[in-house]
Amino acid sequence: MGRYLGQKSISFILTALVVSLVTFLILQVLPGDPARLILGTEGSPQAYARLREELRLDQPAGERYLQWLFAFGYGRWGTSLRYGLGVRELVGQALPLTLTIAVLAVGSALAAAIPAGIYIAVRPGNWGAKGLSFLVQIGMALPQFWVGILLIQFLAVRHRLLPAGGREGPLAFVLPVLTLALPRAAVLTRQVRAGTKEALTQDYVRTARAKGLPERVVLFKHAFLNGVFGVLTVAGIQLAQLFAGTIVVEQVFGLPGLGQLLLAGVFQRDLPLVQGIVMVVAVLILLLNWIHDLLLALLDPRLRYD
């Protein structure tokens, strides 16, 4: 287990370094002069000089990268050019909302996908299972932003059951979470169905049935638990994607999350803000993948001894 954990930790550190280098190159080196990119062509020579000094653009690129990397590691992420506040403070205000929506969406998707996938796998010829399979296909095909607009129109505008946006109370999170959860529930349902269906054909399931164990014990303790690893992998990937993939939903529902903050930074050419958010999201995704791999290794000894 120690060797497995060490390998994953080294991979985490190396990947984070590569991501930081690519982020720095794309935002500060490849576009040319970041000062002209931020101020445009209307800036005065004094404004260009002041911004170059503020961003330390007069220093070599390698030195700037190392300074930024070590400063980021110590929690000094710079100051936003648009808001005049620290990037760390702005991210700290927006990140909890994005994390809450992402975790609730994946949790809701799993809660719906597990019973639905098991039901389809156990009763493939049943009309209810066929209907669920049809709904799963629709859920995978619908664009996410369109689902959000439909939910707003039906549940908020027409029937006034839920608020259409904002963050006033827990009900304000229902529509954004549903918008994110529905397509992910469709993907996870297919994964649960495939894993359970495959597990039901294995010898240990036939042995459990031959011993006279109740069907629910055979289904949940033997078939589902042994086929759940693929589901957990997909759910972990989806949760990681949502850290950076809630921009559309936050835009539709007017939520001041990390996606909205990143979009504002891009539109306003706020280089320190964009650079800080991209790096934070990358580290969060890598950290989640590291935790996910560790949990899978704890559940499945074959992974840590492979």
Sequence ranges of the domains in the chain: 2-73, 87-269
Question: What CATH number was assigned to the domain covering residues 87-269?
Answer: 1.10.3720.10
| pLDDT for 35 beyond 70 | no
More confident residue, 297 or 182: 182
Min mean pLDDT across 115-119, 141-145, 279-283 is at 141-145
* pLDDT category of residue 304 using cuts at 50, 70 and 90: low
pLDDT attached to residue 90: 92
The string of DSSP codes covering 45-109 is HHHHHHHHHHTTTTS-HHHHHHHHHHHHHTT---B-TTT-SBHHHHHHHHHHHHHHHHHHHHHHH
pLDDT attached to residue 89: 92
pLDDT attached to residue 305: 55
pLDDT attached to residue 300: 66
| pLDDT for 185 beyond 60 | yes
**Cut 0.75: pTM above it:** yes
The encoded tokens of residue 143 equal: 């664009």
Task: Determine the Cα–Cα distance for residues 37 and 52; give it in Å rounded to an integer.
Answer: 11
Q: Tell me: the pLDDT tens digits for 102-133?
A: 889 999 999 999 888 888 888 887 888 888 88
